Amino acid sequence: MFRWILIGTGSGILVLLVAFVAFLMWPVAGYSGIPEGVSSERFDIAVRGAALISAGGCLSCHWDDEQGGKPFAGGKPIKTSYGTVYSSNITPDKETGIGNWTDEDFVAAFKHGRRPDGSNLYPAFPYTAYARLSIEEILAIKAYLFAVVKPVRAANMAAEVDFPYGWRPMLTAWKFLAIDETPLPADPGKGPAYLRGQQLVEVLGRCASCHTPTDWLGLPDRSMLLAGTADGPGGVPVPNITVDENTGIGRWSMQELFFYFRNGIKPNYERAKEPMASVINHSLKPMSNADLLAIVAYIKEQPAISNKVTASAVTPERPEGASPPSSVVPLSPPPGSPGG
């Protein structure tokens, strides 16, 4: 009798294991749920897509300019804790780019981290943040890429990812924990500038994705929002950008923070280094003053967290006798922000 119990238990476990593996490997392509009338085949939304691409810093990843690559053609190495992946070609080239992607394919990549064949994308593409974008925003990005960007024939490079992380089906279960499509909750006590800053910092601009430590599952530790991490993109330490005066940017004024985002120069006159330099050049510099001020307002409103990462990245002192950097715009608080 005992032997049959063992056999039955073992068989049950085996069935569950097979079912789980099948679940991980089952290809699910496309995205169902695009509202009627919403399409990337509208040139009017391509203009909005241009602003979204700029704010999202797409070129900072999808352009290997140091090696002579073409804009949006990918190939830039992105070092992670699990190996090196290479950004993909997102030009509308039909053979090596995304020229054959449907609207459903494109939305699925942003909201579910899936390729058109149903396989999982590595989270170096930050779909865990982009999942909160609206379908209209996502398709505006596609409209711009297809209407304006020239096709570039550039084959995608295979990722160099350590086992077992290189087995894409493993990501299926992880994504259930990591992806949340729910729009960010709107705090009724905050003005529109603060809410815009929240959207840019936590979703589109992904500041929080880099400047927030993660747990052993690779999920953000919300209790340490924007507090920096020693293990940032490419293994580069990412500084604490909370308003803590000793380990963060608490001694930076709004003007100094705005000036840094616009020009890449810190209050101590150091220049931004990579990867932040690319973010400034491709994302923050082209941004409108209103959006940049919204980011500043949101960051300045977050609680101070003591977390020392790299002293040089947060040192607020200026050379003796030097004047602080001044902004190109008057920095009264933007409308709708605290004090505005």
Last residue of a domain, one of 146, 178, 210: 178
Residue 139 has pLDDT above 50, yes or no: yes
Q: What is the pLDDT of residues 276-311, one digit of tens each?
A: 998 999 889 989 999 999 999 999 999 999 999 864
Q: What is the pLDDT of residue 338?
A: 40
| Lowest-confidence region among 34-48, 156-170, 192-206, 221-235 | 34-48
Same domain, 63 and 155: yes
Q: What is the pLDDT of residue 147?
A: 92
On whether residue 12 sits in a domain, the answer given is: no
Same domain, 171 and 202: no
On whether residue 102 sits in a domain, the answer given is: yes
Same domain, 54 and 156: yes
Mean pLDDT of 127-134: 94
On whether residue 3 sits in a domain, the answer given is: no
Confidence of residue 31 (pLDDT cuts 50, 70, 90): low
Mean pLDDT of 48-77: 91
Same domain, 157 and 225: no
Mean pLDDT of 333-338: 40
Same domain, 71 and 134: yes
On whether residue 142 sits in a domain, the answer given is: yes
On whether residue 51 sits in a domain, the answer given is: yes
- Per DSSP, the residues of 23-68 read HHH----S---PPTT--S--HHHHHHHHHHHHHHTHHHHHB-GGGT
On whether residue 156 sits in a domain, the answer given is: yes
The answer to whether the pTM exceeds 0.95 is no
Residue 21 has pLDDT above 50, yes or no: no
Same domain, 73 and 166: yes
**Position of tokens 């500043």?**
296
Tally of domains in the chain: 2
Same domain, 56 and 94: yes
| Other Cβ atoms within 10 Å of 127 Cβ, number | 22
Q: What is the pLDDT of residues 72-86, one digit of tens each?
A: 999 999 888 788 999
Alpha carbon distance 303, 96 (integer Å): 45
Residue 50 has pLDDT above 50, yes or no: yes
Residue 234 has pLDDT above 90, yes or no: no
Last residue of a domain, one of 178, 208, 235: 178
- The proportion of the chain whose per-residue pLDDT surpasses 90, expressed as a percent, equals 52
Same domain, 52 and 159: yes
Same domain, 58 and 158: yes
Return the closest-CA partner of residue 53 out of 179, 157, 143, 154. Answer: 143
| Lowest-confidence region among 185-189, 235-239, 279-283 | 185-189
210-216: long-range contacts, CB 8 A cutoff, minimum separation 24: 210/238, 210/275, 211/238, 211/239, 211/240, 211/241
Q: Of residues 25 and 297, which shows the higher confidence score?
A: 297
Mean pLDDT of 308-322: 51
On whether residue 238 sits in a domain, the answer given is: yes
Residue 18 has pLDDT above 60, yes or no: no
Same domain, 264 and 147: no
Same domain, 208 and 290: yes
| Lowest-confidence region among 145-154, 184-193, 207-216 | 184-193
Same domain, 164 and 198: no
Identify the domain containing residue 294 by its residue range. 192-314
Confidence of residue 29 (pLDDT cuts 50, 70, 90): low
Residue 3 has pLDDT above 70, yes or no: no
Mean pLDDT of 183-211: 89
Last residue of a domain, one of 133, 154, 178: 178
- Find the farthest-apart pair of alpha carbons in the chain and give their distance in angstroms, rounded: 89
Q: What is the pLDDT of residue 232?
A: 80
Residue 335 has pLDDT above 70, yes or no: no
On whether residue 336 sits in a domain, the answer given is: no
